[in-house]
A and B are shown apart, each in its own frame.
Chain A
């Protein structure tokens, strides 16, 4: 297994790892090249598996000794039985799914708990760009133009809280992260996080 430089890991990965109990069974959906999966195995000793839509990402994972299969969050979660994992993780992928609500329900079905991280479209910079320029926001964190973005279902932190409620999930933990991927570090009403959080991470469980 290749060495991970733990200090150079994205801030949200560090928080994600903190959300996961050591030794748990984990499914990382949209695992990319396996950076988070490798970190979870290295630091939390999880029994981890990955699903990734790009075959090259999967091949990269497997060639580094990480268990991964090619699959689509929208289509392929149905193959897994109920409560197959302690945690189903969806990192920075929700906004790219065809059916975010269906995917969230699937996460809560196959995982005892679900961990979801996503970019917050309600951040004040996004709001200002739309307000002043009248154009869809393009930021360092959301670098795509509207016509070529893989992110087809953006939401804000408050939207996500409402969706979690709608699918019958309880929020166990949540963190808003700043542009550096570090936790904002104080508790505030959702509307405050919704303004200043670049991204958010939620730990959910079924009610």
Chain B
């Protein structure tokens, strides 16, 4: 594994810096004390707890222009600003920012780190104030419903009683659907992208492979690796490699790598990373472990596995959306096989059955599930149009109909 420039010492320093963020985020954070516990679906609660978040733009006088962005599995609250661990620009800077579809000149945008995450919201790497040690596996299992309950506490603490829009892709899209189902009166419009109403058996299977890889790493230490200043980097790296394959399409892998060899003219008849795709996956795995906590990965994948919006309604998904006044815009991508269009369509059919105001757009893209994070002009155009329509209905200023010059060039 030589395809990374970092020395072991640099790596240890990077891991410590990332760990610091889990309790002391670089950005904004709200704490809730012993008197304000967060109730969990597991039947227990956490107190005290904290939620880390970022905001962009200004809240208007009647607090009607707030947009909540929900991040995906390994995302963070730095949707449109630099990630303090990686130094990389915000993960959705093409979507969120001044003049962008989610226009921060018009909207007050909130993005918080999910419960169970490792960027400052209470998660397994956060220091448990009772023990002064990281929670590790002592943290109760959290669900998508719990994540949304935590976000609701934050939104209400910010003085907002109704969100103009809740937007997110993949696991973020699950949170969007959960918001719309659990707190419809707080959600004026919502945009679930590349997501589904439940995690499929196949998706649970992939997650289980990832978790078993983490747990099989001797450095995992039954979840107590932080106390011993160790990291299960090999296991987490394999988990990420396996997961990364599910984010791409066969077509995009073929187009990007084919059977091309990595810095060599012929195969080595060994187990080096002969192929570019191997080298690429190893790199993805290696860089991921620098920015993400292994136990967090276990918790957050579990939260996705447990998600099943129809379950409390005897399996009838429409039951989750009855009487809703929320405006929905559902988006999927043609080559996404992790959350295929059929999953989005089942949401759309349920919304139709519930008489909801729903738009549904399937976007032609070769890039698989990850397309929602990439430069997909049709997605930006759809988002912009939908938010303009919703802003008109809400009586607030929406994004400009004409994209910024930069977008127009794309």
Contact A64 B355 (CB under 8 A): no
Whether, in the assembled complex, A143 has its beta carbon less than 8 Å from a beta carbon of chain B, the answer is no
| Separation of A196 and B384 alpha carbons in the complex (Å) | 45
A62 touches B385 (CB 8 A): yes
Q: Would you list which residues of chain B between 375 and 403 have a CB under 8 Å from chain A? A: 378, 381-382, 384-386, 388-390, 392, 401
| Closest residue of A by beta carbon distance from B355 | A84
Q: Which size bracket describes the interface of A in this complex?
A: 20 to 34
Q: How far is the CB of A38 from chain B (nearest CB, A)?
A: 10
Do A49 and B358 touch across chains, with their CB atoms under 8 A apart? yes
Is there an interface contact between A79 and B349, defined as CB atoms closer than 8 Å?
Answer: yes
Cα(A2)–Cα(B358), bound, Å = 20
Nearest Cβ in chain B — how far from A156, in angstroms? Answer: 33
- The 8 Å CB contact of A67, one of B359, B362, B378, is B359
Closest A residue to B393 by CB, please name it: A65
The residue that B359 contacts in the complex, of A2, A69, A80, A81, with Cβ under 8 A, is A69
Q: A59-B382, A62-B329, A63-B381 are in contact. Are A81 and B388 (CB under 8 A)?
A: no
Q: Complex: how many Å from CA A66 to CA B364?
A: 20
Task: Provide 26 A-B residue pairs closer than 8 Å at the C-beta atoms, listed in order of the A residue.
Answer: A1-B388, A2-B401, A47-B357, A55-B361, A55-B362, A59-B378, A62-B329, A62-B385, A63-B382, A63-B385, A64-B389, A65-B385, A65-B386, A65-B388, A65-B389, A65-B390, A66-B359, A67-B327, A69-B348, A69-B360, A70-B361, A70-B362, A76-B349, A80-B353, A80-B355, A81-B353
Q: Does A20 contact B (CB under 8 A)?
A: no
Contact at B358–A62, with CB atoms within 8 Å? no
Chain A 45-70: CB-based contact to B (< 8 A → 1; otherwise 0): 00101000001001101111111111
Most buried by A among B327, B353, B385: B385
Q: Which residues of B are at the interface with A, using a C-beta cutoff of 8 A? A: 327, 329, 348-349, 352-353, 355, 357-364, 378, 381-382, 384-386, 388-390, 392, 401
Chain A residues near B (Cβ < 8 Å): 1-2, 47, 49, 55, 58-59, 61-70, 76, 79-81, 84
Measured between C-beta atoms, what is the minimum distance from A59 to chain B in Å? 5
Since A2-B401, A62-B386, A79-B353 are in contact, a sample of 5 more A-B pairs with Cβ atoms closer than 8 Å, ordered by chain A residue number, is: A62-B359, A63-B381, A69-B352, A70-B362, A80-B352
Decide if B361 touches A58 in the complex (CB within 8 Å): yes
A62-B329, A63-B381 are contacts. A69–B389 as well, Cβ < 8 Å?
A: no
Which residue of A is nearest B364, CB measured?
A55
> A59-B378, A80-B352, A81-B355 given as contacts; is B388 within 8 A of A70 (CB)?
no
Q: Name which residue of chain B comes closest to A47, CB basis.
A: B357
* CB nearest neighbor in A for B389: A65
Is B361 a contact partner of A59 (Cβ separation < 8 A)? yes
Please state if B352 and A79 are interface contacts (CB–CB under 8 Å).
yes
Q: For B327, B357, B384, B389, which residue has the most chain A Cβ atoms within 10 angstroms?
A: B389
B382 touches A49 (CB 8 A): no
Query: Which residue from chain A places its CB closest to the CB of B331 in the assembled complex?
Result: A62
Residues of A with C-beta under 8 A to B327: 67
**Judging by beta carbons under 8 Å apart, are A70 and B360 in contact?**
yes
List the 8 shortest-distance A-B pairs measured between CB atoms, nearest first.
A65-B389, A63-B385, A69-B360, A79-B352, A79-B349, A63-B381, A62-B359, A67-B359
